[in-house]
Homo-oligomer: A and B are copies of this chain.
Amino acid sequence: MNEGVEWALHSCLNLAWIGEERAVTAARLAGYHELPPAYLNKQLQSLVRAGILSSVPGCQGGFRLARSLDRITLMDVVTAIEGPDEAFRCTEIRGQGPGATTGRPTAECAIADAMGRADLAWRRELAAQTLADVRARAERQAPGAPDRIRRWFADL
């Protein structure tokens, strides 16, 4: 799994803690965790395309949340960064070699089915958790974090 998912999740939470007042620069978000700014920018763009963040170009521009955390699921973020493909990619080896079946009913494959079922369980669990849930739990575990973050992003 792409590590951009981790960056994206942290950035979304940080944006929520900072507040809605003004957009935050990609460089600033990157700086907080010492991430490569240009690369994080790319991930943020993916979030924009997915409608999770909105971006404002130009001076004093940056990124902000496009909707509240309770309307963003983990699934949304993962899909935005990783794409829609599932983990198990079938290369159709059944269709090559002496064992090739004449018709090629990919849809009726017990193996791909079974793996797809597991993938579905994974996605269901991701979709069941919103970033608001995650934030609530994070604040319970580290009550001081929100203030510290707000302060760091506040002074220039």
Query: Shortest CB–CB separation between residue A142 and chain B, in angstroms?
Result: 7
One of B111, B122, B135, B148 near A134 (C-beta < 8 A): B111
Check if A6 sits within 8 Å of B91, measured CB to CB.
yes
Residues in B neighbouring A10, C-beta threshold 8 A? 93-94, 111
- In the bound complex, residues from chain B placing their C-beta under 8 Å from that of A133 are 114
In the complex, what residues of B have CB within 8 A of residue A34's CB? 93, 96-97
Copies in the complex: 2
A:30-87 near B, CB below 8 Å: 31-35, 74, 87
Contact B124 A137 (CB under 8 A): no
Q: Could you tell me if A141 and B6 are in contact, using CB atoms closer than 8 angstroms?
A: no
Report how far A91 CA is from B7 CA in the complex, Å.
10
* Contacts known (A88-B1, A96-B34, A134-B110); A145 close to B101, Cβ less than 8 A: yes
Docked-complex contact B117 and A129, CB < 8 angstroms:
yes
Chain B residues whose CB sits within 8 angstroms of the CB of A7 once the complex forms = 93
Set B6, B96, B119: member contacting A93, Cβ < 8 A:
B6
